[in-house]
Chains A and B, each alone.
Chain A
């Protein structure tokens, strides 16, 4: 009887170690860098502006019309040459904007081609 009790006690004490200690395996896995995935900037929405051309001949009429429309009779002026310059300046700004947007898109296409890109839906 004592032998059986001793055997059971030994089994209880050593039971968990049957099969030996499991060896801890240490391995390294390459985890790809998280995608930046910044949201694309919202396109600008331009407000409509109105140019008024004033000459020495129509200035009275223009100011009278402004007053009739309830608009302050004051205008911020540009000469014809300055108008040309401002038009060209804006053309340069939009060129650079377009270029930068395109470069950004190309980078995104190149480095994140494996990810599905939500395409901008065309306006109806």
Chain B
């Protein structure tokens, strides 16, 4: 009788053990699947973070480049303005006196300069450059009123 009960208990325990082991294995498999999914998500996340960092780096470089280009432009425009200012008073020159002495010549110079200045405004407002303007690299070829706007390939020299 007692042996029968013991056998029954052992059988129940054995069945419970097998059942428990089965459930445990199923849990492990489920955990494994979750971990795999998590790893995949983490890998994707790392990848997207890498892309984000690369994009941020590119944006930062673009901002630096744009700022640098704008600074170069502003410096060029300042130089153009200073050159104009100096042209009027170069070597203590008095434009009025020169105009009295050489009226015709100064009139031609002033009209030519006005034409060039008008072209500068057209370019500044977004007009496309002509081939001549783009090719100009010598002082004799440039628009002396605004070389920084009109002649992007001109490098000032003495």
Q: Which residues of A contact B (CB under 8 A)?
A: 40-53, 55, 57-58, 79-81, 83-84, 87-88, 90-95, 97-99, 101-103, 106, 109-110, 113, 120-124
Contact status A110-B63, CB under 8 Å: yes
User: Which 5 pairs across A and B sit closest by C-beta, in order of nearness?
Assistant: A80-B96, A43-B127, A46-B118, A98-B124, A95-B77
Give the docked Cα–Cα distance between A98 and B78 (Å).
12
Could you mark each residue 112-136 of chain B with 1 if its beta carbon is under 8 Å from any beta carbon of chain A, else 0?
0111011111111111111100100
CB distance from B44 to the nearest CB of A (A): 17
Q: Which residues of B contact A (CB under 8 A)?
A: 59, 62-63, 66, 69-70, 73-74, 77-78, 80-81, 84-85, 88, 94-96, 99-100, 103, 106-107, 110-111, 113-115, 117-131, 134, 145-146, 149
Contact status A95-B95, CB under 8 Å: no
Give the docked Cα–Cα distance between A95 and B126 (Å).
13
Specify the chain A residue showing the minimal Cβ separation from B101.
Answer: A55
Contact status A53-B110, CB under 8 Å: yes
Contact status A123-B70, CB under 8 Å: no
CB distance from A49 to the nearest CB of B (A): 6
CB distance from B80 to the nearest CB of A (A): 7
Residues on the A chain within 8 Å of B134, using CB:
122
Contact status A46-B149, CB under 8 Å: no
Residues on the B chain within 8 Å of A99, using CB:
70, 73-74, 77
Contact status A91-B125, CB under 8 Å: no
A46 in contact with B81 given A80-B94, A97-B124 (CB within 8 Å)? no
Residues on the A chain within 8 Å of B122, using CB:
43-46
Where chain B touches its partner, the secondary structure class is: helix
CB distance from A100 to the nearest CB of B (A): 9
Contact of A92 among B70, B74, B81 (CB under 8 A): B81
Give the docked Cα–Cα distance between A97 and B125 (Å).
6
Residues on the B chain within 8 Å of A83, using CB:
95, 110
CB distance from B25 to the nearest CB of A (A): 33
Residues on the B chain within 8 Å of A43, using CB:
122-123, 125-128
Contact of A102 among B62, B73, B99, B121 (CB under 8 A): B73
Contact status B117-A53, CB under 8 Å: no
Contact status B107-A52, CB under 8 Å: yes
Residues on the A chain within 8 Å of B125, using CB:
41, 43-44, 97, 101
CB distance from B99 to the nearest CB of A (A): 5
Contact status A87-B73, CB under 8 Å: no
Contact status A88-B85, CB under 8 Å: yes
Residues on the A chain within 8 Å of B69, using CB:
102, 106
CB distance from B58 to the nearest CB of A (A): 10
Residues on the B chain within 8 Å of A123, using CB:
127-131
